[in-house]
Structure 1
């Protein structure tokens, strides 16, 4: 199993001792840090002779600045923030309170508005936000509370006490940060700095979807049930400036249907950020059958719908981004605690796919993990027995109350939209239950079918096919969109997209699946180029500098031989204002 690039040999690495290390500075990680600081302050106020320190609590964030890699639609359910920081609305960067919702079903040329908005999609009282701005603000609160945030430092590998792979016995003792100043051949450059070994009593994994360290942990300890595998979607987003009056500030529009076929899961959103700015995007479930499905092209096709053309005419695309998100829900949550570690937020599938919301759940899981970490610090015991309080508190919280009744929702759509809607209706009547037992599901990449099994598709059910071009006004090619993501990587570094066996890509995959990486990647990272040396006549080139860190390749590669690992800290997209 490949989990990270081979470390340089014979390097003496700096050691740092920590009480708590939080890997990931998104909403889950920042909420965890802030809640932990609050608890320590309360403890110290009441126990002058048994003071706890915040000096050895660290947040590691791989981006150059806090919030830079954070991307979402985004709508914020304020429930958890009101618990974390009562009255936060008076100072947080909230763009608009939702005052209007509508839902449309799209065919290729028509839009039919649903007569009522389904209850899960009623967003009155929620807020349209830029997750980038919101997390940046949370980071300021964390630093004001006395917690150290290290930006530009990625968690490259977990540190274990021994070689045990038993989840009951294995102990995580910290994390190694990324080496800096390594050239593309894996050799130290003049500015080389070895990564730190941060040895921690408690390690909190809050890396977001398909986190590098979380994947290491889940695979090493077998924390995921293969009959309830984590499943994902890919959201592709653009931020637009449009003439005033097109979409009201605080207005929310959802769509389903075209450009997806009835066999694919997904939909789109339009959020009114201001009177002249809108957030729009399309999500494609990463459990489709046709390897030619192209999520980036789905967004471009979506904008060509007559309704979208009217909304966007005369406007200008400002920013672009893409991010995977967990869709499986409560049944697909892996084990979330063990000796010295806890798993939270998107890394552990805490997202409500029926409501299309997860930020509030990430924040709440961060808070509950902080309360458990605090108890571990007070008791001096970070064993699995102590950290199991995290799971117990989640089960007793409103997180379970929200997720358990929709535990079968995404799985209902396994065989397509029509059957999915019928099953979802039955679940609504039965409060989340199926007519039989709870649904099982497999990892999304296992549902991909070889090209020779697909045959032809009739009429409007033709699969979404790759299209590299756009008109430059309404639709855009991948490279133009990547430019608008602000993505930057140091060219002279090892690729952070590790392919275990390129021969499979150049022979089997191109013949069996048509090289789906060139379709599912929204950033033109994977390119099949002519080659006289390859038996197929083509070989895979990896343009890693384009990568927007969405993790789709790590998720959807049919052979599971692509591993996304952190690039040199600081590299990646810049989702300023997104």
Structure 2
């Protein structure tokens, strides 16, 4: 590794301020204190503040939090509400049919509704008080490897103050090389550094492809005596309309403080229809008669979007390499049937922290020295949760009612079902070509008008996410071959990027250099950092990279 940048060395470097890394950092500092060890620990976060990029449903199973901090309520954990019961519905366009049998993994009584943004802020403050050096506004842009590309040495932060052509401006700040004995990657789903590491070291070799869902979430302020009054205290989950039974996905409504609700909808990125518009699907969910009655008279306070890793246990990559470990969503750690990732992510970070402390004490932070981490995962309750859902998303991806036979068999057999190791197809390979009779203009007529208050358009949603990017920086979204977009993607799929992006980043415009032709115009400043484009593009022609540190959403309540 040759570098001319400023270099700072740490014992442990956490990349990303999500629940996995924050729990891991707290666990590490507490364990080091118990052993009278002094460690130099750093955590970098690409958002402007800890919590700025934190978004989830979110129901928190407190099992890992109780292990980490038994007195979490006394320490001010920002719980919105505690769930008293559950309800599950199958939706048609105009009806909501109650499903009397609620699977055990959707039993949420006693669990907490939280804002992940607030939760991460709270956890970050505790970690900082314990001695973790937290640096928000610094994106991990590049892996630092040894000369043989066999060991992770740390990460390089992104440069700041570049113009749109990549040249330094007057306020230029160079990159910094952050070196560590152990680097902990906790980037969340589709982490860009983990993606790079996988391409070099083959982390996913032998695993099934990872699968993803894209979720759009809003926090909505309700009027007094709203239709939601009858459901206070209960978690509401819904499947069916508008996706039907052909595509994985569904919606939720959770009670929050101050007469607010968290409302969201997830769409499995294994969908086949190239004309599927994820944001329009979300709007159709909100307009469904039952859902519309729940939120009538409400006002959207904040909106956001993010992909979720849903492939399950068989899609998890290798968790360790020399000098580094993977935790949380970027490791595919998610309880798919329960629709929960926070507690399992936290547990992964805590188990990794215990291993890291031992490895540092033994002076061996190679893959062999860190091997206790995946072993600990296998022996903990974390493995049990993940393993029960090992075939769940595959069954959910089946067409029509056949999926319920698979799901029922899995429910009765601890997750095995009719076939253990059901295959998964890569999400970028599932789109079917557009039929001649299917035109984008026809589909757009299905959307009724937005009111700008409860039903907001994409650009208003971006505004409500408080997303900010400096306009004159190099684009962080890379289209590798513009000609491919026009000559192959449009005839076959009619530019699906304009519909799978929930933030209106991709726009079709006339090509000023070619009369009668069109091109894709990028609007990177609208980016939610959801990474759907990096997953779903059918030609793998789009790569998401980190923009300048501190840019992106400014979530505070989602």
Q: TM-score, normalising length from structure 1?
A: 0.92
- What stretches of structure 2 of length at least 5 have no aligned partner? none
Structure 1 residue 387 corresponds to structure 2 residue 367: no
**Preserved CA contact (<8 Å) 2:534 2:543:** yes
Task: Give secondary structure in 2 for the equivalent of 1:30.
Answer: helix
> Residue 318 of structure 2 aligns with which residue?
335
Structure 1 residue 12 corresponds to structure 2 residue 4: yes
Q: CA 1:468–1:185 in structure 2 vs 1: closer, same or farther (change >3 Å)? A: farther
CA distance in 1, matches of 2:320, 2:92: 45
CA distance in 2, matches of 1:171, 1:388: 15
Structure 1 residue 202 corresponds to structure 2 residue 177: no
Structure 1 residue 106 corresponds to structure 2 residue 95: no
> How big is the shift at 1:467?
4.9
> Residue 553 of structure 2 aligns with which residue?
573
> Residue 3 of structure 1 aligns with which residue?
none
Structure 1 residue 80 corresponds to structure 2 residue 80: no
CA distance in 2, matches of 1:105, 1:261: 9
Structure 1 residue 89 corresponds to structure 2 residue 81: no
Q: 1:43-88: CA deviations, max 9, x gaps?
A: 10xxxxxxx323x210011111111100001110000000011121
**Preserved CA contact (<8 Å) 1:153 1:570:** yes
CA distance in 1, matches of 2:148, 2:478: 24
> Residue 167 of structure 1 aligns with which residue?
none
**Preserved CA contact (<8 Å) 2:411 2:417:** no
Q: CA 1:117–1:437 in structure 2 vs 1: closer, same or farther (change >3 Å)? A: closer
Structure 1 residue 409 corresponds to structure 2 residue 378: no
Q: 1:233-259: CA deviations, max 9, x gaps?
A: 001011111123424543210100001
CA distance in 1, matches of 2:377, 2:516: 51
> Residue 52 of structure 2 aligns with which residue?
68
Task: Give secondary structure in 1 for the equivalent of 2:38.
Answer: coil
Task: Give secondary structure in 2 for the equivalent of 1:451.
Answer: coil
> Residue 4 of structure 1 aligns with which residue?
none
CA distance in 2, matches of 1:252, 1:434: 27
> How big is the shift at 1:262?
2.3
Structure 1 residue 29 corresponds to structure 2 residue 13: no
CA distance in 1, matches of 2:234, 2:306: 23
- What stretches of structure 1 of length at least 5 have no aligned partner? 1-9, 45-51, 165-169
Q: CA 1:220–1:468 in structure 2 vs 1: closer, same or farther (change >3 Å)? A: farther
> Residue 105 of structure 2 aligns with which residue?
120
**Preserved CA contact (<8 Å) 2:387 2:415:** yes
> How big is the shift at 1:498?
1.2
Structure 1 residue 252 corresponds to structure 2 residue 235: yes
**Preserved CA contact (<8 Å) 2:510 2:516:** no
CA distance in 2, matches of 1:226, 1:482: 38
Tell me the number of residue pairs that the alignment of Structure 1 and Structure 2 aligns. Answer: 551
Q: CA 1:104–1:30 in structure 2 vs 1: closer, same or farther (change >3 Å)? A: same
Q: 1:244-289: CA deviations, max 9, x gaps?
A: 3424543210100001132111000000113611010100001111
Structure 1 residue 147 corresponds to structure 2 residue 132: yes
CA distance in 2, matches of 1:311, 1:437: 40
> Residue 182 of structure 1 aligns with which residue?
162
> Residue 510 of structure 2 aligns with which residue?
530
**Preserved CA contact (<8 Å) 1:264 1:417:** no
Task: Give secondary structure in 2 for the equivalent of 1:346.
Answer: helix
> Residue 173 of structure 2 aligns with which residue?
193
Task: Give secondary structure in 2 for the equivalent of 1:410.
Answer: helix
**Preserved CA contact (<8 Å) 1:292 1:464:** no
Q: 1:513-554: CA deviations, max 9, x gaps?
A: 111100000000000112254587210000000101101011
CA distance in 2, matches of 1:114, 1:125: 21
Structure 1 residue 564 corresponds to structure 2 residue 548: no
Structure 1 residue 551 corresponds to structure 2 residue 531: yes
> Residue 58 of structure 1 aligns with which residue?
42
**Preserved CA contact (<8 Å) 1:59 1:150:** yes
Q: Determine which of 296, 315, 323 is the counterpart of 2:298.
A: 315
CA distance in 1, matches of 2:338, 2:524: 34
> How big is the shift at 1:464?
8.8
Q: CA 1:476–1:273 in structure 2 vs 1: closer, same or farther (change >3 Å)? A: same
CA distance in 2, matches of 1:341, 1:11: 20
Q: Determine which of 345, 352, 356 is the counterpart of 1:369.
A: 352
Which stretch of the first structure deviates more once superposed, 564-573 or 290-299?
290-299
CA distance in 1, matches of 2:362, 2:444: 56
CA distance in 2, matches of 1:441, 1:205: 25
CA distance in 1, matches of 2:68, 2:528: 30
CA distance in 2, matches of 1:275, 1:487: 24
Q: Determine which of 2, 26, 33 is the counterpart of 1:41.
A: 33
> How big is the shift at 1:216?
0.6
Q: CA 1:66–1:362 in structure 2 vs 1: closer, same or farther (change >3 Å)? A: same
> How big is the shift at 1:199?
1.4
Q: CA 1:175–1:514 in structure 2 vs 1: closer, same or farther (change >3 Å)? A: same
Q: Determine which of 275, 279, 283 is the counterpart of 2:266.
A: 283
Q: Determine which of 121, 143, 148 is the counterpart of 1:158.
A: 143
> How big is the shift at 1:366?
0.5
> Residue 47 of structure 1 aligns with which residue?
none
> Residue 216 of structure 2 aligns with which residue?
236
Q: 1:473-507: CA deviations, max 9, x gaps?
A: 43221001111100001111101101111111122
